[in-house]
């Protein structure tokens, strides 16, 4: 154990949780209306076009 606190992130779309920093590098973060949205790699691939088009997350 390295003594560093581990932070767990949750995908806002599917609810997947992850704490491995290497895996979290593949996740996407977007800020919508001042609120950060975290998206896991698989969900990011599925919804990439909606994200790039800057559609509101409720339309993903």
Q: Is the pLDDT of residue 20 over 70?
A: yes
The predicted pLDDT at position 51 comes to 75
What is the reported pTM? Answer: 0.70
What is the span of the domain harbouring residue 36?
9-54
The predicted pLDDT at position 4 comes to 56
Strands (E), the chain: 9-10, 17-18, 28-32, 35-39
Looking at the DSSP bridge assignments, the partners of residue 36 are 31
The rounded radius of gyration (Å) of the Cα atoms in the chain is 13
- Residues near 19 by beta carbon (within 8 Å), at least 6 away in sequence: 6, 7, 8, 9
Residue 41 lies inside a defined structural domain of this protein: yes
The predicted pLDDT at position 1 comes to 47
The count of structural domains within the chain is: 1
Residue 2 lies inside a defined structural domain of this protein: no
**pLDDT for 21-60, tens place per residue?**
999 999 998 888 898 989 999 998 888 887 777 776 666 6
The predicted pLDDT at position 5 comes to 56
């Amino acid at each position: 154990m390295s003594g560093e606190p581990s932070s767990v992130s949750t995908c806002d779309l599917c609810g997947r949780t992850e704490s491995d920093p290497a895996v979290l590098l593949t996740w996407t973060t977007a800020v919508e209306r001042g609120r950060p949205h975290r998206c896991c790699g698989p969900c990011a691939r599925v919804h990439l076009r909606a994200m790039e088009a800057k559609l509101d997350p409720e339309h993903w």
